[in-house]
Structure formats: C-alpha cells, structure tokens
Amino acid sequence: MEFSAEQIAGILNGEIVGNAQVTVNGLAKIEEGHAGALSFLSNPKYEEYIYKTGSSVCIVNKTFEPTKSLPETLTLVKVEDAYACFAKLLEVYSQMNKKQPKIENPSFIAENATIGEGMYLGAFAYIGDNAKIGNNVSIYPNAYIGENVVIGDGTIVHPGATIYAECKIGTNCIIHAGVIIGADGFGFAPDENGEYQKVPQIGNVILEDNVEVGSNTTIDRATMGSTIIRRGVKIDNLCQIAHNVEIGRNTAMAAQVGIAGSAKIGEHVMIGGQAGISGHLHIADGTKIVAQSGIPSSVKKADTLMGSPGIPMDDFKKSYFGFRKLPYILTKLQELDKKIKELTKE
C-alpha cells in the first residue's frame, strides 16, 4: 500500500520540505533506506545517515536543520516529535494490516460462548464454554481460550497463546505467540514425610485495558483471588509473573524478568532484562531496576537500583570501582604486612 508525503504529513500534522507527491510503500531504518522507503531521524547520533540515505521520505523534528546537502530524492516531513510520530504511523500501518472478520475452519466455538461482532478466528483455535469475546477481537490459529474467559473489544491473541479458564482480558490488549495466562501458580506444601503436596490454585488472572504481553511470557493464576496486571502495562518476551502478583499501571519490563509470588509492583516502574524480584514485597511507584539486578526486599521510595542485592546505582558504581581495585589493594596489604613483620623482627 502506498502513501504520499502529503498524506503522511496530513496524518502527522507535519510540514513538507521537498516533493509532496513522492510515494512510499515500505519502512526502513535511515541507514538502510532505499527508494520507496519511509524512515525517521530523532537521535542526533544518526544524523550522518540522512545525508546519504536512499529513503524517499524521512520524518524529522521541526528543530532539524541540515548541515550538509540532502539527497535530491529525499523529502522531509517535519513534526514536533519524530519518534512519537513514526510510532503513530506504525500503529496506523498495523491497523490497516489487521485481519478481516472471518471464522476459519476447522476451529471450535462452544455453543454457549458469546461472540462479538467483527471477530477473526484462525484455524484450529478453540473457544471454551461460557467464554465472552468482545467486538473486533482477533484470535489467531492454534490459540486456546478456556471456559468462562472474558476478552474485551479490540484485543489480539496471537498464534499458540493459551488463556486458561476464568481469566479476564481487557480491551485493546495484545497477547503474543506462546503466551500462557492462568496456568497454576507454583504452590506446594511439604507433608509430614517431607513430600510436596500441591496446593490447589483456584484464583485467576486479570489483565486490564491496553496491556501487551510478549511471546512465551507466563502469568500464573492466583492461589486465591487474582493475579492483576493493571492498565497500560508492557511486558516483554520470556517473563515469569508468579501467582498473586500485582503490577501497577504503565509499568514496563524487559525480557526474562522474574517476579515471585505476591509481590506488588507500583505504577510507572521500569525493570531491566533478567532482573529478579522476590516474593511478598512492594516496589514503590517510579522505581527503575537495572538489568540483572536482584531485589530481595521492599523498595519504599523511588530510586534507580542496580546489583544484587539492588542498591542505589551511584552507590553500586562506587562499590564496583572498589571491587575492581581489590587485587591491587590486596597486593598492597600483603606488602605492608611483610614490611611490618620485618620491622617487628628488627
């Protein structure tokens, strides 16, 4: 599908510099631009590429002023925030490529399930008893929707995702391939013989509106009550969210984060990849956790934490500087010890 620079500027309320009628039919990074491609420039460190890019249209900030000659084939669309506007265009492009309403065969819909208007249901997908599916929902092939599941309007469930019984998914959520929502929490209790007996997990998982869950992430059902992912949360691939966890609004976490049972994560928290958070603790709103950090206790005041156990990042850097000098310090101590012994002997 083609768009002209004029159409793009109209969508973004931008200003055109160059040929308003030039068209694009694809997207490309500015350093990999080619004829017919749309790119963007927001980070100044990539500015060098705009002077040699092959892209036909580039979205830039209104403050951008070229310091060299631009390619004759390049048209600029100047906007307030190039990065945000490019993301907006990607969303428009994604919506235009959304699956059209259709129910493919073979697929299964329980007789007592409630299905909204405009649904796409891929082949081999399964919708269980008493499930309630909203309007304009897309459920891709091989997805499983269990009994009594509720899915809100506009939500997308990608191939191979599994939503267990009783779970509730809000509106405009995105569940990527291989996600498992509502599997049993890791609950076991040793008996008098020291053998682990399973504790039944009878709760559910609730995802509020505008939540996105990355591929192969697992969100466990609560032992009792609900595991809750609040509105606007963004979860990357391969994360593990344990039973009875609550994640506050607009929190984001990168891949391979693990959150243990009953932890409460505040709003607007950012968690780097491979960070681990212990159970039954609370993380204050606005906290930032650096990748590979371990958080063993509650964080009562917003800070940027690093290391394991996580401490304020500036303290960690100072400590790490000392750690790197330990071999030198040990050598000096050994030399001092030797001199002291020699002096004592004399």
Q: What is the pLDDT of residues 208-242, one digit of tens each?
A: 999 999 999 999 999 999 999 999 999 999 999 99
Which amino acid does the sequence have at 167? C
* Domain boundaries along the sequence of the chain: 3-96, 102-315
| Each residue's pLDDT tens digit, 123-169 | 999 999 999 999 999 999 999 999 999 999 999 999 999 999 999 99
| Whole-number pLDDT of residue 287 | 98
Q: CB atoms < 10 A from the CB of 287, how many?
A: 24
Residue of 176, 243, 268, 280 with catalytic role: 243
Per-residue b or e along 41-68, where b marks 16 or more CB atoms closer than 10 Å to that residue's CB: bbeeeeeebbeebbbbbbbbbeebeeee
- The whole-number average pLDDT for the span 308-320 is 90
Burial class, 152, CB count within 10 angstroms (exposed 0-12 / middle 13-18 / buried 19+): buried
Residues 6+ apart with CB under 8 A from 253: 234, 235, 236, 239, 269, 270, 271, 275
DSSP state for residue 312 in the 8-state scheme = E
CB proximity list for 1: less than 8 A, separation 6 or greater: 25, 96
Among left, alpha and beta (phi > 0; psi -120 to 50; other), residue 239 is beta
pLDDT-derived band at 68 (thresholds 50, 70, 90) equals: very high
Contacts of residue 152, defined as CB under 8 A and 6 or more positions apart, other chains included, come to 134, 137, 169, 170, 171, 172, 173, 209
Among 1-15, 24-38, 232-246, name the most confident range: 232-246
> Span 102-315: which CATH code?
2.160.10.10
DSSP character at residue 68: S
Catalytic residue flag (residue 176): no
Q: Does domain 3-96 have CATH number 3.40.50.150?
A: no
pLDDT in tens, 74-130: 999 999 999 999 888 888 877 777 788 999 999 999 999 999 999 999 999 999 999
Whose structure tokens read 């499983």? 144
For residue range 254-284, list pLDDT tens digits in order.
Answer: 999 999 999 999 999 999 999 999 999 999 9
| Cα distances (Å, whole numbers) of residue 48 to 19, 220, 250 | 22, 47, 34
**Residue 158: predicted pLDDT:** 97
Report the pLDDT value the prediction gives residue 292, as an integer from 0 to 100: 97
pLDDT at residue 346 is higher than 70: no
